[in-house]
């Protein structure tokens, strides 16, 4: 057979080196080509990761047993001899960027699995892929400017344990502990989708999971975003998956801060309070791994406490029967129509869940002027640290309605004690409750935060958090920090007792309960329609949205779906539902492969939820997401 010259560029020779010419015959197999090539370079090194990339055809020649003829390679082919694993920069949900080695030659699906395996390797002693898997996908970032707040963490890595060096440990910490919130100004500068149309643009950029990174034009050192793509989260167990939980939280947090998902003011305040709480707890945690250890310890302590109560001898019990009290002079004010009376000072006694007040300390053994049972009441702070105003607003339910009463305290210390007591009493707990001390402390911390805010808004220390950084720019504009802080404080009181993981889980829960949660938008044109519309894809349904008014026109549920397919010639997705309902649409700004893969992916996830195995059925995934496209 006639020999001919094959042109191959060897990257390792340097960018300026001319391509090598090797003499081959058409029946030479790829392995032979590589052998010849390596001999010709005269370089001693490990070539095992290298493979041939056919530039014009955008494909890898990975089957070393195939002949050139079989691969269709002729003299005009320009091949590149290059490593299959290359460094890649990954934008994580928390805004940090991670540099790591990824496989450019296998399908994106496998590559992502490989990456996830690395990220949670140390922690996941169970099978690595454990559902980190397909819920994360790569974002092609080429046209996305990534701005402030990204920690450049280097992790050059073959799969290795994070504990290898302080540096890798730091990486792990970055992954598994939520990062402090960025400055409000930075948040405001980040890109925010202003409309549904904007949101459709984001989703045009998902990579095709059946093709390799190289095939999709990703170059060495390019930056991709790593995100949870499918909003179906199975068994979130914080014990095994701190990284996953944290990153999920970060993704949720940024979705809310950047108004990617809409929420109401009340919800935003609660999100803000939770962020504050999570941030505070994360800071105080020196060791990453302690996060689950802490929870265990906490529960162990709790049960220990219970035991001790049980074991206490009778005298102790006697003592504990007489509950502690708070006694002090406070100013009380009861707003009533047509009265101009202001605050008046009384001697107040807090016992069990009630406040009794007397004219003076000397009268305390007599009948109180009034006794207020706080069980079931609403407690709201009315505080201005700068103005030294420490009021507790109580709304005490009575048969006729609610009684409004203000208690005015002298100082922070008094306020935090009485406030904590009121808070507990409203839940039916007494001063005896173990949470009392921590409640007092929480209130004090929050007050100090407000102090630093109002005193020196310009000079932020690391400890104090600007409440503006806890809400989205819309609310930054709407409220001044001074107005915002009390509202977040109010919401904070309901979550202050949560542990770190339960706070994160709570945040995720509220996020998932939002009406628009988990909907990915695509601009499409339905068959027979003359205008562009938006198709929302959620984990259980498809939603047709009218662009003009933004209303949901129709929803179809997956479990009514008979079949779906893609006509690759006219790039149209066709779906058939029960009852002979057929819809077909083409995608306006995304590749219809992306849409097809999204729907298939959700159906894949729903099959998974039933079998609950740790390994992914890759074949099934590709079958469901790949369509009948010839690869």
Partner 1 sequence: MDDIDAMFSDMLQEMDLLTQSLGAEEESAPLPKPPSIPDPQQMNFSIGFTDFNASLHDLEDNDLDALMADLVADISATEEKFATEQDTLKGSAPVAPIPSQPQDNFSLPASTDTSRHATSSNSIAAPPPPPASKPSKEELEEQIKADKIKLALEKLKEAKVKKLVVKVEIMDGSSKTLMVDERQTVRDVIDNLFEKTHCDCNVDWCVCETNPDLQTERGFEDHENLVEPLSTWTRDTENKVLFQEKKDKYDVFRNPQNFYLWKKDKKSLKDMKEKDKEQLLEENFCGASVIVPDLEGVLYLKEDGKKSWKQRYFLLRASGLYYSPKGKTKASRDLVCLVQFDNVNVYYCKEYRIKYKAPTDHCFILKHPQIQKESQYIKYLCCDDEWTMTLWVTGIRIAKYGKQLYDNYKAAVRKAAGSATWANRSLQASSSASTPSPTPKARAANGHAPQPAVETKGSSNQTSFPPPPPSMETLPPPPPDPMMPPPPPAPPSATKVNKFPPPPQFPQSSFPPPPMDDLPPPPPPPEDSELPPDFLPPPPPIFSSCGGEALPPPPPDPIASLPPPPPAPQNFASAGGAPPPPAPPPPPPAPAPAANKPAGSIRKVAPPPPKRTTPQLAAPSGGDLMSELMTAMQKKRTQ
E strand or H helix that includes residue 86: strand 85-91
Nearer to partner 1, 301 or 306 (CB): 306
**Can you tell me which residue has the tokens 């800071």?**
283
32 binds partner 1 (CB under 8 A): no
559 binds partner 1 (CB under 8 A): yes
Q: Which of residues 436-475 bind partner 1 (CB under 8 A)?
A: 474
Nearer to partner 1, 408 or 544 (CB): 544
Query: Please, are residues 561 and 254 in contact by the beta-carbon 8 Å criterion?
Result: no
| Per-residue mark of binding to partner 1, 273-302 (x: CB under 8 A) | ------------------------------
Is residue 149 left, alpha or beta, with left meaning phi > 0 and alpha meaning psi from -120 to 50?
left
Q: Which of the stretches 75-83, 109-117, 160-168, 400-408 binds partner 1 when contact is defined by CB under 8 A?
A: 400-408
For residue 384 the two structure tokens come to 């201005």
Nearest to 334 by CA among 321, 346, 351, 320: 346
Smallest distance, partner 1 to C-beta of residue 77, A: 52
Smallest distance, partner 1 to C-beta of residue 135, A: 13
Q: Which of residues 507-546 bind partner 1 (CB under 8 A)?
A: 508-510, 512-516, 540
Burial class (CB in 10 A: 0-12, 13-18, 19+), 25: middle
Q: What whole-number distance in Å separates Cα of residue 596 and Cα of residue 210? A: 12
Enumerate residues 6+ apart whose C-beta is below 8 A from 229.
134, 135, 136, 137, 206, 598, 601
Q: What whole-number distance in Å separates Cα of residue 509 and Cα of residue 504? A: 9
Q: What whole-number distance in Å separates Cα of residue 542 and Cα of residue 573? A: 13
β-pairing verdict for 3-10 and 78-83: parallel
Give the length of the chain: 631
Q: What whole-number distance in Å separates Cα of residue 339 and Cα of residue 117? A: 69
Nearer to partner 1, 80 or 236 (CB): 236
| Per-residue mark of binding to partner 1, 257-276 (x: CB under 8 A) | -----xxxxxx--x------
399 binds partner 1 (CB under 8 A): yes
> How many residues in the shown chain lie near partner 1 by CB under 8 A?
43
Is residue 612 left, alpha or beta, with left meaning phi > 0 and alpha meaning psi from -120 to 50?
left
Nearer to partner 1, 502 or 565 (CB): 502
Nearer to partner 1, 98 or 263 (CB): 263
Number of H helices, E strands in the chain: 17, 24
Is residue 245 left, alpha or beta, with left meaning phi > 0 and alpha meaning psi from -120 to 50?
alpha
Q: Count how many Cα atoms sit within 13 Å of the Cα of residue 252 in the half-sphere of its side chain.
A: 29
SS3 202: helix
Smallest distance, partner 1 to C-beta of residue 419, A: 18
Nearer to partner 1, 378 or 618 (CB): 378
Q: What whole-number distance in Å separates Cα of residue 222 and Cα of residue 219? A: 5
| Per-residue mark of binding to partner 1, 572-591 (x: CB under 8 A) | -------x------------
Nearer to partner 1, 58 or 303 (CB): 303
Smallest distance, partner 1 to C-beta of residue 40, A: 58
Q: What whole-number distance in Å separates Cα of residue 465 and Cα of residue 467? A: 6
Smallest distance, partner 1 to C-beta of residue 138, A: 25
Smallest distance, partner 1 to C-beta of residue 220, A: 38
β-pairing verdict for 533-537 and 3-10: unpaired
| Per-residue mark of binding to partner 1, 153-192 (x: CB under 8 A) | ----------------------------------------
483 binds partner 1 (CB under 8 A): no
Which of residues 46, 362, 400, 462 is near partner 1 by CB under 8 A? 400
Bridge-partner residues for 524, per DSSP? 533, 587
307 binds partner 1 (CB under 8 A): yes
Q: Which of the stretches 86-94, 110-118, 144-152, 308-316 binds partner 1 when contact is defined by CB under 8 A?
A: 308-316
623 binds partner 1 (CB under 8 A): no
Smallest distance, partner 1 to C-beta of residue 245, A: 11
Nearer to partner 1, 164 or 198 (CB): 198
Nearer to partner 1, 283 or 561 (CB): 561
Nearer to partner 1, 310 or 342 (CB): 310
550 binds partner 1 (CB under 8 A): yes
Nearer to partner 1, 48 or 339 (CB): 339
Query: Please, are residues 89 and 98 in contact by the beta-carbon 8 Å criterion?
Result: yes
Residues that bind partner 1 (CB under 8 A): 233, 236, 262-267, 270, 306-307, 309-311, 313-314, 317-318, 321, 376, 378, 397-402, 474, 494, 505, 508-510, 512-516, 540, 550, 555, 559, 579
């Amino acid at each position: 057979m006639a020999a001919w010259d094959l042109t191959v560029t060897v990257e390792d020779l340097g960018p300026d080196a001319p391509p090598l010419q090797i003499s081959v015959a058409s029946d030479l197999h790829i392995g032979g080509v590589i052998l010849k090539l390596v001999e010709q370079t005269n370089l001693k090194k490990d070539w095992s990761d290298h493979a041939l990339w056919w530039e014009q055809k955008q494909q890898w020649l990975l089957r070393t047993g195939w002949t050139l003829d079989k691969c269709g390679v002729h003299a005009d082919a320009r091949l590149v001899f290059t490593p299959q694993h290359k460094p890649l920069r990954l934008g994580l949900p928390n805004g940090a960027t991670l540099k790591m080695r990824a496989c450019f030659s296998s399908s994106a699906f496998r590559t992502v699995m490989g990456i996830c395996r690395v990220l949670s390797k140390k922690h996941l002693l169970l099978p690595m892929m454990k559902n980190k898997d397909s819920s994360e996908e790569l974002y092609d970032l080429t046209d996305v400017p990534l701005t402030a707040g990204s920690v450049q963490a280097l992790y050059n890595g073959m799969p290795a344990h994070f504990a290898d060096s302080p540096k890798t440990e730091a990486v792990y910490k970055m992954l598994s502990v939520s990062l402090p919130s960025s400055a409000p100004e930075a948040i405001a500068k980040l890109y925010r989708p202003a409309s549904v149309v904007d949101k459709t643009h984001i989703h045009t950029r998902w990579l095709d999971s059946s093709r390799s990174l190289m095939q999709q034009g990703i170059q060495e050192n390019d930056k991709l975003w790593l995100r949870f793509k499918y909003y179906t989260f199975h068994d979130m167990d914080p014990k095994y998956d701190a990284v996953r939980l944290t990153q999920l939280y970060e993704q949720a947090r940024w979705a809310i801060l950047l108004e990617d998902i809409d929420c109401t003011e009340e919800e935003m305040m609660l999100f803000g309070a939770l962020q504050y709480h999570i941030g505070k707890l994360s800071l105080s945690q020196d060791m990453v791994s302690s996060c689950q250890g802490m929870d265990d310890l906490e529960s162990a302590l709790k049960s220990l406490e219970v035991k001790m109560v049980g074991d206490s001898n009778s005298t102790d019990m006697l003592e504990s029967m007489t509950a502690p009290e708070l006694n002090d002079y406070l100013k009380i004010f009861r707003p009533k129509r047509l009265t101009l009376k202001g605050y008046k000072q009384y001697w107040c006694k807090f016992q069990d869940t009630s406040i009794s007040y007397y004219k003076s300390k000397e009268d305390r053994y007599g009948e109180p002027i009034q006794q207020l049972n706080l069980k079931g009441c609403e407690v709201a702070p009315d505080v201005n640290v700068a103005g030294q105003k420490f009021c507790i607003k109580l709304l005490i339910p009575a048969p006729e309605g609610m009684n409004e009463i203000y208690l005015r305290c002298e100082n922070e210390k008094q306020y935090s004690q009485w406030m904590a007591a009121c808070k507990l009493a409203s839940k039916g707990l007494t001063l005896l409750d173990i949470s009392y001390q921590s409640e007092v402390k929480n209130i004090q911390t929050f007050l100090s935060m407000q102090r630093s805010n109002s005193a020196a808004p310009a000079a932020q220390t690391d400890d104090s958090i600007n409440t503006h950084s806890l809400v989205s720019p819309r609310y930054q504009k709407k409220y001044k920090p001074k107005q915002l802080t009390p509202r977040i404080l109010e919401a904070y009181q309901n979550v202050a007792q949560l542990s770190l993981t339960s706070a994160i889980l709570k945040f995720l829960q509220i996020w998932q309960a939002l009406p628009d949660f988990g909907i990915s938008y695509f601009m499409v044109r339905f068959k027979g329609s003359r205008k562009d519309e938006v198709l929302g894809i959620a984990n259980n349904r498809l939603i047709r949205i009218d662009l003009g008014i933004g209303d949901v026109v129709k929803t179809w549920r997956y479990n009514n779906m008979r079949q779906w397919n893609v006509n690759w010639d006219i790039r149209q997705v066709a779906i058939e539902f029960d009852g002979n309902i057929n819809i077909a649409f083409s995608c306006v700004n995304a590749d219809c492969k992306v849409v097809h893969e999204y729907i298939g992916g959700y159906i894949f996830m729903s099959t998974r939820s039933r079998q609950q195995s740790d390994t992914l059925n890759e074949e099934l995934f590709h079958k469901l997401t790949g369509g009948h496209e010839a690869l």
